[in-house]
């Protein structure tokens, strides 16, 4: 942390003093780096969370309800994505407006509005595309019924439906092969348990 702070101060000194970089532009760069760092940290946290050992603990260990899983999803996926979009509009909007329209403009023109909104949506979408699949795998490994989780997540607008006109949006998720394997393993475990329950006297 101390090294990162020192590097930021050196970058500010070099940019602002020697190259005449405006402080707002430097501040936007720092916010962008903090955003990337936050995405990496949250993604690593979910990647490092190992699935609970249901086999050893028994079915009674599955204590995470779908509602609680959705609440966690709202807190780590939707709320930060919306916050990042608003921060992008708030901080990057004036800078982009000055670049496109110059300093004399008093209103926001259509080109500025289009660029700022596209940037804000891109920032929020990138957060969703990286964090949402990791939250989904985390939740699948802890809830008792994945079907209920998928339905509730679609209703809460955490996920896009797998079929229909908007199905192509779900293909924008960024996930590793290891994450896909964990998701398939969680679904297979559920399907295996369903088959076991259907056998009488088991």
pLDDT given at position 57: 43
- Return the minimum-mean-pLDDT range out of 45-49, 136-140, 187-191, 197-201: 197-201
The whole-model pTM stands at 0.69
Upper half-sphere CA count for residue 93 (Cβ side, 13 Å)? 17
Answer yes or no: is 173 within a domain: yes
Q: Locate 167 and state its tokens.
A: 């199905």
Q: What is the DSSP string of 100-112?
A: HH-TT--S--HHH
- Please, is 29 exposed, middle or buried when counting C-beta atoms within 10 Å of its C-beta (0-12, 13-18, 19+)? middle
Answer yes or no: is 202 within a domain: no
Q: What are the pLDDT digits (tens) for 20-29?
A: 556 566 666 6
Look at the chain and report how many structural domains it folds into: 1
For the cut 60, the answer to whether the pLDDT of residue 62 exceeds it is no
From the list 40, 185, 168, 177, the residue with the least C-alpha distance to 160 is 168
The per-residue pLDDT of the chain, averaged, comes to: 75
Answer yes or no: is 87 within a domain: yes
Between residues 197 and 68, the one the model is more confident about: 68
Domain that holds residue 174: 2-197
Q: What are the pLDDT digits (tens) for 91-117?
A: 878 778 778 777 655 666 778 888 888
Q: In sequence order, which residues have a C-beta less than 8 Å from that of residue 91 and are 6 or more positions away?
A: 24, 27, 28, 31
């Amino acid at each position: 942390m101390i090294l990162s702070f020192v590097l930021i101060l050196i970058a500010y000194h070099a940019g602002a003093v020697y190259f005449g970089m405006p402080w707002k532009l430097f501040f936007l760069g720092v916010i962008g780096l903090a955003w990337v760092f936050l995405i990496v940290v949250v993604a690593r946290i979910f990647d490092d969370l190992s699935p609970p050992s249901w086999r050893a603990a028994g079915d009674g260990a599955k204590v995470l309800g779908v509602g609680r899983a959705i609440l966690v999803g709202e807190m780590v996926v939707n709320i930060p994505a919306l916050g990042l979009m608003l921060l992008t509009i708030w901080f990057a909007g004036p800078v982009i407006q000055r670049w496109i329209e110059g300093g004399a403009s008093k209103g926001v023109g259509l080109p500025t509005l289009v660029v700022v909104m596209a940037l804000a949506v891109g920032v929020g979408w990138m957060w969703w595309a990286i964090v949402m699949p990791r939250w989904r795998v985390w939740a699948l490994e802890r809830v008792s019924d994945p079907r209920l989780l998928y339905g509730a997540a679609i209703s809460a607008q955490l996920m896009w439906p797998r079929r229909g006109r908007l199905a192509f949006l779900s293909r924008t998720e960024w996930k590793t092969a290891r994450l896909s394997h964990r998701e398939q393993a969680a679904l297979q475990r559920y399907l295996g348990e369903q088959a076991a329950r259907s056998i009488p006297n088991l």
